[in-house]
Amino acid sequence: MSRPGVLLDRDGTIIVDHGYVGSVDRVEFIPGSIEAIAALNAAGIPVAVVTNQAGVARGYYDIDDVHQVHKHMIAELARKDAHVDVWLFCPYHPDGKIAAFARTSADRKPAPGMALAAAEALDLDLTSSWVVGDAECDIGLAAAVGAQPLYVGPPDTTRDGVRSFPDLAHAADYILTCRTVPTQPRDTPMRFPTHRFDSADAYGGAYVTELDRAVRSVDRAQLGRAAEILDNAYRDDRAVFACGNGGSASIANHLQCDHVKGVRNGTDLTTRVYSLSTNIETLSAIANDHGYERVFEYQLQSHARPGDVLVAISSSGGSPNIVRALEWASAKGMPTIALTGFDGGAARRLATASIHVNAHNYGIIEDAHQACMHLLAQYVRQSRMAADVVASQTF
């Protein structure tokens, strides 16, 4: 089982921030910080250091200097029976002067890379962990991974919704007092972004990291169930209908393309797949005469038969026309697949197979839905090929 841990900033939290501390002679421990780490160790709470070290990118010192500073800190901690379980640092900065390090990085706080690496190394549940630091990027890191931020610094500094302490010693006392933090329910979507980015490349790195997390949140058992529904439909010559609004409509249309044309390449499949989102004349006529909430249900009443399949795509999962279509399909004996995001809405509960993306950003959710649509098409396609033929095909 994953466990809570503490992610500590370095400069300004454990040692005095003299500005780009890149040599042993500039290391000055903040009073009480070593004892605070020792207390966390004694309580069995894993401790990781996650520190931005842009001084490497700016040419003030090199990677080996960072390691020497950490080696010195490790020795000083050990003198008082304290230790850090994992040391992580990010040497990159987009404005760096050293070419090898002059770039954005998903590891640079407030991006979540180092926290995710610490969680993997120490088996941490980040939503029940703490991030302790003296800068906005530390608070941003906590928000990015669902951890509880604790600010350390001048007592007159206040931040809405963030507990503040004068130093690490007081923050550690608080952690040891509560020992557990209120955790987000596992199904609570994580927000992105949580702060403003000053460059597109930095935003891009954080976006890719969040997209990776969102895709990993999908229940693979539900993907397997959806694949089985589609495979059975194609085997039995059943029709598959897809629908969605806005960006989800484009995914429904793309699904028709990939599940009709794509799956035929190198297989014996001739599927019958239709997007209910593609005919503007039909959509507008139904919406005008019967209401937009019936645009998909009305088409199903004309075209669908028991045993056919409905794939409903909705980021919110609550669009009335999506919910009505799912309800009608279920009542008529049609297996249903829902691709949802946010909290999943009614669509998540109604579907036979629920492919839910735990995210709170339309772009992230739609990108993840598109990936799921593609992988289902490709899975069905390759499953109809001889094992020795798959590697020779282009997917």
The DSSP result for 142-164, as a single string, is: HHHHTPEEEEES-TT--BTTBEE
Given strand 336-340, what is the order of strands in its sheet?
272-275, 239-244, 309-314, 336-340, 353-356
Active site residues: 9, 11
Reduce the DSSP state of residue 236 to 3 states and report it.
coil
Structure tokens, 355: 């492919």
| CB neighbour class for 160 (10 Å; exposed up to 12, middle 13-18, buried from 19) | exposed
**C-beta of residue 236 within 8 angstroms of C-beta of residue 309:** no
How far is the first Cα of the chain from the last one, in angstroms, to the nearest whole number? 37
**C-beta of residue 190 within 8 angstroms of C-beta of residue 360:** yes
Kindly report the CA angle at 315 between 274 and 297, in degrees rounded to 5?
40
The CA distance from 216 to 371, in Å, is 11
DSSP state letter for 123: T
DSSP state letter for 129: -
The CA distance from 149 to 185, in Å, is 18
**C-beta of residue 176 within 8 angstroms of C-beta of residue 41:** no
Residue among 92, 91, 77 at smallest CA distance from 41: 77
Across-strand partners of 164?
151
